């Protein structure tokens, strides 16, 4: 399987530095411009057999637009959603580190295994994405997967057979694309690029 992994465009949650994992956030003006560029490029410049998408709107809108233009059905998967930050959702770092200090400190002590109240642990989050990836990685052809930065980090570390902590070696820009081949139990990154350069 060849994977085209696409991160959504800029949202208000991004520029406000909020922990907006599963929280719905709207596109900024820059994000709207990125949306026009990335959907055009994905529709006209890349060929794929299937489209998978997170159901969260910042990714869903991109997948739906590309699907309409290419006359392809989009397969929405909850597993492709961003990490659920529970009681930290939609809060800034400053607010969390003061108002939720007790939980923030516990998370920092073991961010891999600590389950944020009402949310995920990184282990749970990574595990569900790995399960989804395993379900399609050996299929023939290619797939467009529209989702989130954290989701893409998990897909990459899983396909490259890396430890969960190695996810931080991969910076996935907004409106970014990662092309990765997986064949015979081996993953190879072909490219990682920004698809919509806007100042």
Do 104 and 191 lie in a common domain? no
pLDDT tens-digit series, residues 85-136 = 999 999 999 999 999 999 999 999 999 999 999 999 999 999 999 999 999 9
Identify each DSSP E strand in 59-131 by its residue range.
Answer: 74-76
pLDDT tens-digit series, residues 39-83 = 999 999 999 999 999 999 999 999 999 999 999 999 999 999 999
The CATH code of the domain that includes 21 is 3.40.50.1240
Mean pLDDT of the chain: 97
CA distance 35 to 107: 34
* Residue 135, in any domain of the structure: no
Do 72 and 25 lie in a common domain? yes
Query: What is the extent of the structural domain holding 56?
Result: 1-81+141-199
Do 109 and 148 lie in a common domain? no
Query: In a 3-state reduction of DSSP, which class is residue 78?
Result: helix
- Beta strand 142-147 with 186-194 is unpaired
CA distance 18 to 25: 10
Q: At what angle do helices 122-136 and 149-159 cross, to 10 degrees?
A: 60
What's the per-residue H, E or C state across 16-37? Answer: CCECCCCCCCCECHHHHHHHHH
| Structural domains counted in the chain | 2
Do 77 and 164 lie in a common domain? yes
pLDDT(199) > 70: no
């Amino acid at each position: 399987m060849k994977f085209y992994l696409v991160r959504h465009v800029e949202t208000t949650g991004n520029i406000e530095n909020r922990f907006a994992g599963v929280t719905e956030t709207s596109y900024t003006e820059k994000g709207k411009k990125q949306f026009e560029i990335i959907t055009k490029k994905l529709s006209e410049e890349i060929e794929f057999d299937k489209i998978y998408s997170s159901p969260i709107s910042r990714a869903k809108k991109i997948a739906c637009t590309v699907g309409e233009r290419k006359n392809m059905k989009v397969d929405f998967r909850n597993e492709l959603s961003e990490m659920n930050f529970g009681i930290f959702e939609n809060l800034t770092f400053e607010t969390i580190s003061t108002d939720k200090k007790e939980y923030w400190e516990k998370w920092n002590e073991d961010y891999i295994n600590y389950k944020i109240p009402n949310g995920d642990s990184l282990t749970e989050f990574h595990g569900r994405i790995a399960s989804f990836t395993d379900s399609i990685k050996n299929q023939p052809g290619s797939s467009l997967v529209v989702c989130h930065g954290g989701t893409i980090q998990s897909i990459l570390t899983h396909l490259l057979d890396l430890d969960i902590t190695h996810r931080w070696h991969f910076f996935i820009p907004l409106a970014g694309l990662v092309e990765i081949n997986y064949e015979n139990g081996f993953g190879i990154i072909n490219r990682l690029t920004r698809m919509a350069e806007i100042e």
